A and B are shown apart, each in its own frame.
Chain A
Amino acid sequence: MSMTETHAPSEQQAETEALLDVRNIEVIYNSVILVLKGVSLQVPKGGITALLGGNGAGKTTALKAISNLLKSERGEVTKGQILYRGERVQDLVPSELVKRGVIQVMEGRHCFEHLTIEENLMTGAYTRRDGRARVEEDLDLVYTYFPRLKERRRSQAGYTSGGEQQMCAIGRALMSRPETILLDEPSMGLAPQLVEEIFGIVKDLNEREGVSFLLAEQNTNVALRFAHRGYILESGRIVMDGAAADLRENPDVKEFYLGMSDEGRKSFRDTRSYRRRKRWLS
Chain B
Amino acid sequence: MPDQVLFALEVTINGLMAGVLYALVALGFVLIFKASGIFNYAQGVMALFAALTLVGIMEGQVPFEHLINATFGTGIHGFGWQVPAILAIVLTVVVMVIFAWVVNWLVLRHLVGQEPIILFMATIGLAYFLEGLGDMMWGSDIRTLDVGLPQGINTLVDQVTFDAFGYGLFIDNLDISATIIAIVLVAALVAFSQYTKEGRALRAVADDHQAALSVGISLNFIWVLTWSIAGFVALVAGIVWGAKSGVQFSLSLIALKALPVLMLGGFTSIPGAIVGGLIIGVGEKLFEFWVGPLVGGATENWFAYVLALVFLVFRPQGLFGERIIERV
Please list the residues of chain A having a beta carbon within 8 angstroms of any beta carbon in chain B.
67, 69, 72-74, 93-95, 97-99, 103-106, 110-115, 119-120, 122-124, 126-127, 156, 158-159, 161-162, 172-173, 176, 189
Contact between chains at B218 and A123 (CB < 8 Å): no
Contact of B217 among A126, A159, A162, A173 (CB under 8 A): A126
Q: Verify if B200 is at the interface (C-beta below 8 Å from A).
A: yes
Contact between chains at B203 and A103 (CB < 8 Å): no
Contact between chains at A114 and B327 (CB < 8 Å): no
Report the bound CA distance from A230 to B106 in whole Å: 44
Q: Which size bracket describes the interface of B in this complex? A: 20 to 34
> What's the minimum C-beta distance from B5 to chain A, rounded to whole angstroms?
43
Knowing A69-B214, A95-B216, A103-B216 are in contact, say whether A113-B325 is a contact too (CB < 8 A). Answer: yes
Knowing A115-B203, A115-B204, A115-B207 are in contact, say whether A158-B325 is a contact too (CB < 8 A). Answer: yes
Q: Verify if B215 is at the interface (C-beta below 8 Å from A).
A: yes
Q: Verify if B153 is at the interface (C-beta below 8 Å from A).
A: no
Contact of B327 among A97, A127, A158, A176 (CB under 8 A): A158
Q: Verify if B213 is at the interface (C-beta below 8 Å from A).
A: yes
Chain A residues near B214 (CB-CB < 8 A): 67, 69, 94, 103-106, 110
Report the bound CA distance from A226 to B207 in whole Å: 33
| Binding site secondary structure of chain A | mixed
Report the bound CA distance from A72 to B209 in whole Å: 9
Contact between chains at B208 and A95 (CB < 8 Å): no
Contact between chains at A124 and B207 (CB < 8 Å): no
Contact between chains at A172 and B215 (CB < 8 Å): yes
Report the bound CA distance from A94 to B214 in whole Å: 6
Which 3 pairs from chain A and chain B are nearest by CB? A98-B216, A158-B325, A110-B211
Q: Of residues 264 to 295 in B, which have CB atoms within 8 Å of A's CB atoms?
A: none
Interface flags, B300-328, vs A, CB<8A=1, else 0: 00000000000000000000001001011
Interface flags, B114-135, vs A, CB<8A=1, else 0: 0000000000000000000000
Contact between chains at B201 and A123 (CB < 8 Å): yes
> What's the minimum C-beta distance from A59 to chain B, rounded to whole angstroms?
16
Contact between chains at B200 and A122 (CB < 8 Å): yes
A-B contact pairs, 19 of them (CB 8 A): A69-B214, A72-B219, A73-B113, A74-B113, A93-B218, A94-B216, A95-B216, A97-B216, A105-B214, A106-B211, A112-B204, A114-B206, A114-B207, A115-B200, A115-B207, A126-B197, A156-B325, A176-B215, A176-B216
Could you count the A-B residue pairs with CB atoms below 8 Å apart for me: how many are there? 87
Contact between chains at B212 and A123 (CB < 8 Å): yes
Contact between chains at A110 and B210 (CB < 8 Å): yes
Q: Verify if B112 is at the interface (C-beta below 8 Å from A).
A: yes
Chain B residues near A124 (CB-CB < 8 A): 215
Report the bound CA distance from A156 to B206 in whole Å: 15
Contact between chains at A126 and B327 (CB < 8 Å): no
Q: Of residues 216 to 239 in B, which have CB atoms within 8 Å of A's CB atoms?
A: 216-219
Chain A residues near B201 (CB-CB < 8 A): 123, 126
Contact between chains at A123 and B204 (CB < 8 Å): yes
Closest B residue by C-beta to A160: B327
Contact between chains at B325 and A99 (CB < 8 Å): no
Chain A residues near B213 (CB-CB < 8 A): 69, 72, 94-95
Contact of B210 among A69, A113, A122 (CB under 8 A): A69
Report the bound CA distance from A105 to B211 in whole Å: 8
Contact between chains at B211 and A114 (CB < 8 Å): no
Contact of A126 among B113, B206, B216 (CB under 8 A): B216
Chain A residues near B203 (CB-CB < 8 A): 112, 114-115, 119
Report the bound CA distance from A156 to B327 in whole Å: 13
Knowing A122-B200, A162-B327 are in contact, say whether A112-B216 is a contact too (CB < 8 A). Answer: no
> What's the minimum C-beta distance from B142 to chain A, rounded to whole angstroms?
43
Report the bound CA distance from A110 to B322 in whole Å: 18
Report the bound CA distance from A126 to B211 in whole Å: 13
Contact of A95 among B113, B211, B217, B325 (CB under 8 A): B217
Contact between chains at B210 and A106 (CB < 8 Å): yes
Chain A residues near B217 (CB-CB < 8 A): 95, 123, 126
Chain B residues near A172 (CB-CB < 8 A): 215
Closest B residue by C-beta to A172: B215
Report the bound CA distance from A267 to B70 in whole Å: 87
Report the bound CA distance from A74 to B204 in whole Å: 22
Contact between chains at B200 and A119 (CB < 8 Å): yes
> What's the minimum C-beta distance from A193 to chain B, rounded to whole angstroms?
18
Contact between chains at B208 and A110 (CB < 8 Å): yes
Report the bound CA distance from A95 to B328 in whole Å: 30
Chain B residues near A73 (CB-CB < 8 A): 113
Chain A residues near B210 (CB-CB < 8 A): 69, 72, 106, 110
Chain B residues near A111 (CB-CB < 8 A): 208, 211
> What's the minimum C-beta distance from A73 to chain B, rounded to whole angstroms?
7
Closest B residue by C-beta to A175: B215
> What's the minimum C-beta distance from B202 to chain A, rounded to whole angstroms?
10
Chain A residues near B197 (CB-CB < 8 A): 122, 126
Chain A residues near B216 (CB-CB < 8 A): 94-95, 97-99, 103, 126-127, 176
Contact between chains at A103 and B218 (CB < 8 Å): no
Chain B residues near A173 (CB-CB < 8 A): 215
Report the bound CA distance from A185 to B211 in whole Å: 15
Report the bound CA distance from A67 to B219 in whole Å: 15
Chain A residues near B204 (CB-CB < 8 A): 112, 115, 120, 123
> What's the minimum C-beta distance from A101 to chain B, rounded to whole angstroms?
11
Contact between chains at B207 and A113 (CB < 8 Å): yes
Chain A residues near B325 (CB-CB < 8 A): 113-114, 156, 158-159
